[in-house]
Amino acid sequence: MRKITFVLMMMMMGLVHAEEAVPGAAGIGDSYFPSLGNGGYDVQHYTLDLAWDEATNMLSGTVTLNATAIHDLSAFNLDFLGFDISAVHLDDAPAGFSRDGRELTIQAAQPLKTGQDFSVAVSYSGVPGDGVPHYYDVFARGWTRHEQGVYVASEPNGAAFWYPVNDHPLDKATYRFEITVPQPYIVAANGLLTETRENDDTITYVWESRDPIASYLVTVNIGDFVVEKAKGPDGLPIRNYFPARVFQQGVLTFSRTPEMIAFFSEMFGPYPFEAYGVVVADRSLPFALETQTLSLFGSNTALGGASSENVIAHELAHQWFGNSVSLAEWKDIWLNEGFATYAAALWLEHTDGPEALDRYMRDLYQPLATPALALGHFLPPGDPPPDNLFNGGVYVRGAWVLHALRLRVGDEAFFDILRTYYERFQHANAATADFIAVAEEISGQSLAAFFESWLYDESVPEVPEMGLKPR
- CA–CA gap between residue 168 and residue 329 (Å, rounded): 9
pLDDT at residue number 376: 81
pLDDT of residue 9: 54
Residue 437: count other Cβ atoms within 10 Å of its Cβ.
15
The residue from 302, 319, 336 where one domain ends is 319
Residue 193 and residue 262 in one domain: no
As a whole number of angstroms, the distance between CA 33 and CA 36 comes to: 6
- The CA-atom distances, in angstroms, between 359 and each of 267, 356, 468 are 21, 5, 11
Question: Going by C-beta distance under 8 Å and a sequence separation of 6 or more, which residues neighbour residue 467?
Answer: 354, 358
**301 and 413 belong to one structural domain:** no
Residues 401 and 433 in one domain: yes
The enclosing domain of 302 has a CATH number of 3.30.2010.30
From the list 47, 48, 52, the residue with the least C-alpha distance to 202 is: 52
- Between CA 241 and CA 56 the distance in angstroms is 24
Q: Same domain, yes or no, for 341 and 422? A: yes
Which are the contacts of 173, defined by CB distance < 8 A and separation ≥ 6? 43, 44, 45, 46, 65, 166, 212, 213
pLDDT of residue 19: 61
Q: Containing domain of residue 25, as a range?
A: 1-141+149-218
Does residue 66 share a domain with residue 134?
yes
Looking at every residue in the chain, the average pLDDT score rounds to: 94
pLDDT band for position 464 (cuts 50, 70, 90): confident
The pLDDT value given to residue 17 = 46
User: What value does the mean pLDDT take over residues 462-471?
Assistant: 62
Cβ–Cβ < 8 Å for 326, 357: no
- Mean pLDDT for 356-371 is 94
Give the C-alpha separation, 442 to 238, whole Å: 34
Distance CA 175, CA 63 (A): 11
Q: Is residue 463 one of the residues assigned to a domain?
A: no
Domain-embedded: residue 467: no
Residue 470 lies in a domain: no
For residue range 158-189, list pLDDT tens digits in order: 999 999 999 999 999 999 999 999 999 999 99
Q: Verify that 308 and 349 share a domain, yes or no.
A: no
Find all residues with CB under 8 Å of 235, minimum gap 6, and list them.
none
pLDDT tens for each residue of 310-362: 999 999 999 999 999 999 999 999 999 999 999 999 999 999 999 999 999 99
pLDDT band at 466 (very low <50, low <70, confident <90, very high): low
Domain boundary among 319, 343, 372: 319
Residue 168 belongs to a domain with what CATH number? Answer: 2.60.40.1730
Question: Is the same domain home to 312 and 243?
Answer: yes
Q: How confident is the model at residue 76 (pLDDT cuts 50, 70, 90)?
A: very high
Cα distances (Å, whole numbers) of residue 309 to 233, 242, 342, 400, 427 = 19, 17, 14, 20, 26
The answer, yes or no, to whether residue 199 has pLDDT greater than 50, is yes
Residues 21 and 90 in one domain: yes
Packing angle of the helix pair 257-268, 411-425 (nearest 10 deg): 100
Phi, psi (deg, nearest 5) at residue 346: -65, -35
Structural domain includes residue 464 = no
CATH number of the domain to which 445 belongs:
1.10.390.10
Give residue-wise pLDDT tens across range 255-264.
999 999 999 9
Mean pLDDT of the 366-384 span: 90
CA distance 292 to 322: 9
What proportion of the chain, given as a percentage, has pLDDT over 70?
95
| Structural domain ending residue among the three candidates 172, 195, 218 | 218
Residue 352: helix, strand or coil by DSSP? helix
Residue 209 lies in a domain: yes
Together in a domain, 289 and 384 = no
89 in the same domain as 5: yes
Residue 358, class by beta-carbon neighbours within 10 Å (0-12 exposed, 13-18 middle, 19+ buried)? middle
- List all residues 6 or more positions away from 242 whose beta carbon is below 8 Å from its beta carbon: 225, 226, 227, 228, 250, 251, 280, 302
- For residue 26, the model assigns a pLDDT of 97
pLDDT of residue 18: 46
Tell me which residue of 152, 50, 37, 151 sits closest to 102, measured CA to CA: 37
Query: Which one, of 284, 233, 287, lies nearest residue 256 by Cα?
Result: 233
Has residue 157 got a pLDDT over 70? yes
**How much is the pLDDT for 14?**
47
Rg, Å, the chain Cα set: 22
**What's at 320, amino acid-wise?**
W
Q: What is the pTM of this model?
A: 0.94
Q: What single letter denotes the amino acid at residue 237?
A: P
pLDDT digits (tens, 9 = 90+) for 93-143: 999 999 999 999 999 999 999 999 999 999 999 999 998 887 777 788 899
More confident residue, 50 or 375: 50
Q: Are residues 262 and 188 in the same domain?
A: no
Determine the pLDDT at residue 469.
Answer: 47
